[in-house]
Structure 1
Amino acid sequence: MTNGATNLAQDTKVDAVAELRDLDWPACLNARDLGGLPTAGGGRIREQALIRSDRLSRLTDDGVEAVRQLRPSRIVDLRTAAQCEREPSPFAAADMYCHVPLSIPIDPPNRQARLVDRYRSKLGLYSHRFVQAVAAVADAPPGPVVVHCQAGKDRTGLVIALILKAVGVPDDAVAVDYAASAARLGAYYTAKRADIKDVELLELVRELHSARADTMASTLSYLRDEFGGGQSYLRRGGLVGRQLEALRSRLVVRSQPSSTRARA
């Protein structure tokens, strides 16, 4: 299969997965249910257990009501304090709201040109923050959990990838889910780039706005090479066995053996 055919097949797969799990939360652009993704041993992620999204401050009144109808037990907001102040979450006063910023003002700027290098740097430098975010999901009361940042692509993408790897979702499925953000955010990012005239800056911003499966695949390879995988990364950062088991219990639906289904 040629590279063009491979990319076309991948894009088709991404679009199909994203369409099946897309959530109608007016006016969020990038909200979807992770339910249905496969896990090791023939299981799958439970529907309405883990939701990823862009900022909930976008929501219309109908959108807020749609989230309330889901009855989430926890909403994990990964945005900076400044972003939360500029665009407050409509759920900020609720007990279910949990703010876990992945960036703070004293962090040095990251000017690397490739998005994957920025991901690797952030994972390498701030494992304790990623573990805190994953722990907020693991320790949540029973019920759906929503994880979001500003666009629902980068910070959310990394936290969701760590959670999915911790419960046995294969790399290709994690990468396909990550890449689904490209279609959801395409028009929004195109509009944001419309006034950029500098060619080099435009190229950089286009890279930072991207959501390619190969970017996530390379990030997962980094986690394996440097830390022994996503689960080992989380353990080294302080996540304990009880929390890993809690993630599996709340997220994974085990498939019945074929003999059991036949008897039923």
Structure 2
Amino acid sequence: DVEGITVNRTVGGGGIDKHVEEAERVVRLCALHPQVKVYKGASGNYEDILAHVAEPEFDGSQAVDFIIDRAKADDARELVLMAIGKLTNVALALKKAPSIANKVRIVWLGSNYPEPGEYNFENDIPALNPILESEVPFEMVMVRYGKPSGTDAVKARLEDIRRIMPGKGPSISTPVAGRHGATFSTFGDYSVELFENFPGNPTDRSLFDMAAIAIVKNPAWAERVTIGAPRFANGKWINRPRNPRKIVIWENFDREEIMQD
């Protein structure tokens, strides 16, 4: 079950309101409005906001408070925080309410571990170490640009999107305006336009986010490795294989199964 969607601002993605608009657009195209709500998260970064988390309202408080509220809900199930952007909202929620650490599981699409870099990671590096140092269940879904072991290798070809996606998904009665001016009644049709308008007109595109969500649905679609939680400092990863604090690394994704699904 999808409890809700939180967003935050990342470099190059426009202001926070643009992120909210896109999330709400997709929710409507999936015929999940208004039952699945979108919550505005952080525009700034962890270190900028940290001192304000005890205040009634702060940058990202709507998303942070939603995460805390759902984690504390009277529900025996583990709350999966599917983080496919920077970790700001999640790290702030843990700072504001440390008790939720044993009620959630964080699955984060981020990092090129054991190498530095990666978009989600670099958008808020200071948000990562507090999570690595906590006891919250934490799983990192590898990106690893240009390498076969990361989600970068799970690529969809434009020709396949044009062939498979038109008309896919529920058809909504009130069309939604897309990013580029056209209107759509199905997510499938909108996805074709998104692929056709990627900068540089690539013939394929890595489905980073989808691959991360796919392994929550079916863990058999990637390899799970448990390691001692590392730390990131001075521009590089510090491995700590004897660290009793363990985290999970997901790598070597089954592209064919994920794409077929």
Would you tell me which structure has more strand in proportion to its own residues?
2
- The structure showing larger relative contact order (alpha-carbon pairs under 8 Å, at least 6 residues apart) is 1
* TM-score normalised per structure 2: 0.27
* TM-score normalised per structure 1: 0.27
